[in-house]
Structure 1
Amino acid sequence: MQKVIVYLDDPAYARQLLPAADGAGTHWVLVACAPRMTHRISKWVSHSARENWRSRWADKLFDQIVPGLRARGDDVTPVLARGPLPDLTRDLMAEHGTSRVLDVRRPKQETPPGPGLLPPGAFMGLAALVFALD
């Protein structure tokens, strides 16, 4: 049975990128990567409340992904990431004996500039163009 570690944070996006069943059966180690909270949140929310929120968030994510994988006959081990991903990856690879890791987390999008503003770096590009034309 093939074992695959998968990092995910959005079930709809992950479903699009997960490989189709190949008939051999796969053991998926699903690692939920909860959204980051700002460092200022600790003023209002206790550590245990943050951990409870992360656990509930992961449960909702797994509820949307796990049944589909199990329905096609695959094994699933859900894991909630609680620390740096490189350390977790090493631990999971040693525990499950796999070298295949998929990152199907939704890419972070840059916030667009406000109306009438140039994107970062555009001013320097325009300045270089003006100096080049002189």
Structure 2
Amino acid sequence: MDKVIVYLDDPAYASQRMPPVGGAPTHWVLVACAPRMTHRISKWVSHSARENWRAKWADRLFGEVVPPLRARGDDVTPVLARGPLPELTRSLMAEHGTARVIDVRRPKTHDGTDGRRAAPGLFGVGALLLLALD
């Protein structure tokens, strides 16, 4: 059985980037990488509340990604990343004996956002109105 470790954070983005698998059954080790919280949030939210949010977020992610994989007969092991990914990768590779690691997380842009387009700002709407008046 082929074993693959996959890092993901967005089910729609990951489903487009997941590699196709041949006829052999595959064991997927899905590692959910929750979005980072700002350091200022610790003033308002306890550590246990952050961990609960992270667990619920991972459950929603796995709820969308795991069923299609299991439907085609593959084994799935969900894992929630709680620390640095290099250390987690080493431990998962030692545990599962695999050499394939795939990162299908949504890429971050240079300004730290996740690449999704934001709504236009006030300046953009003003420029659009000026162009429409011409």
Please tell me whether Structure 1 or Structure 2 has the larger radius of gyration of its CA atoms.
Answer: 1
Report deviation, 1:21: 3.0
* Partner of residue 82, structure 2: 82
* Partner of residue 46, structure 2: 46
> 1 CA distance for matches of 2:39 and 2:93?
30
* Partner of residue 101, structure 1: 101
* Partner of residue 4, structure 1: 4
Deviations 1:1-23 (A, max 9, x none): 00000000000000001112311
TM-score when normalising by structure 2:
0.82
Task: Give unmatched runs, 5+ long, in structure 1.
Answer: 117-134
- Secondary structure at the aligned position of 1:19 is classed as coil
Task: Give unmatched runs, 5+ long, in structure 2.
Answer: 114-120, 125-134
Deviations 1:24-50 (A, max 9, x none): 010000000000001110000000000
TM-score when normalising by structure 1:
0.82
RMSD over equivalenced CA pairs, Å: 1.7
- Partner amino acid, structure 2, of 1:75: D
Work out whether residues 21 and 72 of structure 1, in 8 Å CA contact, stay in contact via their aligned partners in 2.
no
Identity across the alignment (%): 79
Report deviation, 1:51: 0.1
- Partner amino acid, structure 2, of 1:29: V
- Partner amino acid, structure 2, of 1:18: M
- Secondary structure at the aligned position of 2:4 is classed as strand
Runs of at least 4 residues off by over 6 Å = none
